[in-house]
Amino acid sequence: MASRDLEPKPTLHSRRSERPGRSTSVRLSVLCAVAVATALVAAAAAQSKPLQRLESPQLAEISRASQPIVDTQIAGARLSAAAPAGYWGGQYTVSTGELVTVYASNSYQVDPALGQRWADFLATLVHGPELSTVTVLLASPDQISRTCGADSVACYSARGAELYTPGEDPASDLSAEAVITHEYGHHIAASRSNSPWLALDWGPKRWASAMQVCAKARKGVLVPGAEDPVQYTENPGEGWAETYRVLNERKAGRAETPWQIVDQALYPTAAALTAAEQDVTAPWTSGTTTTQKAVLTRTKKTRTFTVATQLDGTLRMTLKHSAGMRLSLDVFASTTRAAHVVSTRAVSRTFTVCGARSYRFRVTDLAGRGSVSLTVAKP
């Protein structure tokens, strides 16, 4: 806001004459004393102002989410600058023996028992080893606005594994528990691999594959990483975070809230929820490699190898054969031909599995006789 210059005011002169014997220094001393007294009264009033009480989390409250959970991703430096100065709390040991780091704003009364309850709340959610790597900051609405943005109710820093979330309900139809569960979903994604994509934007490997995130992104139905208000609902990263909240709703036996925070294209099927739980409890880390062999003869010149591809990602294949052979190779992603090669040498190709749940490799002997070997590394 631009500053506004005040109009000059006329000087008022007292009609009374100066009192005899009253020096200017005396008058200044009196004014200083009054100013000091006023400041002390103001400070005392500020200290006597009661602090807010941090909310005590309840698992049942994760279902109270009838409006979008508008959040942002921030750089670690921004969040680290605000913590832990101005917060109380620290590491709490939960029933599983894990250490959970929780800080609460000094805007809330210091109560270690409440800090412990928030740590215990996080431990009741479906989680994996990432629980001990997160730092949770329970902040006041003003602090969240300053750190996360005026329209945000929370934010997350993947670089610092820091989760900035409200210590009280942002609205009557949106609970603090729903927000922190959603945000913790982002922390899980940031702690998982979905190579060659970023899991924070695309969702973890198994869930993203079950939801056909890659295929829908290619069609423009989904927009990975979109944080703007227009495309926020098409962001699979937000869809994953909401799926994680729904997973915990169902695990807790709670009634599921209407799916209105993100697009219906991201509503999880039963298979997607199963995949989501596996992503949390048994994270995908790397793919598998298989080798198949066959002998091509005069009467059987063609052989088709089929490889199931339940997960999207990078597929690498190498076809080797006996000396003197000339082969034709056709590669099909489901029913779509992805490559056609004719060669007398070994053939290596890389593909991106994007929605196709099987790849077929049709090898035809054009000249010579012998054996072939197909090695496939898949997600």
Rounded to whole angstroms, how far apart are CA atoms 200 and 240? 9
pTM recorded for the entire structure = 0.83
User: Which pLDDT score, from 0 to 100, does residue 50 have?
Assistant: 61
Using DSSP's 3-state secondary structure scheme, residue 58 falls into coil
Largest CA distance in the chain: 130
pLDDT tens digits for 163-173? 999 999 999 99
Please give the average per-residue pLDDT across 38-45, as a whole number. Answer: 41
**324 residue type, one letter:** G
Task: Retrieve residue 180's tokens.
Answer: 């922190």
pLDDT tens digits for 66-115? 888 999 999 865 444 445 788 999 999 999 999 999 999 999 999 999 99
**Sole residue written with tokens 């594994």:** 161
Which runs of E-coded beta strand occur in 140-269? 154-157, 162-166
User: Which pLDDT score, from 0 to 100, does residue 142 have?
Assistant: 92
User: Over 50: is that where the pLDDT of 9 sits?
Assistant: no
**Sole residue written with tokens 């079950």:** 210
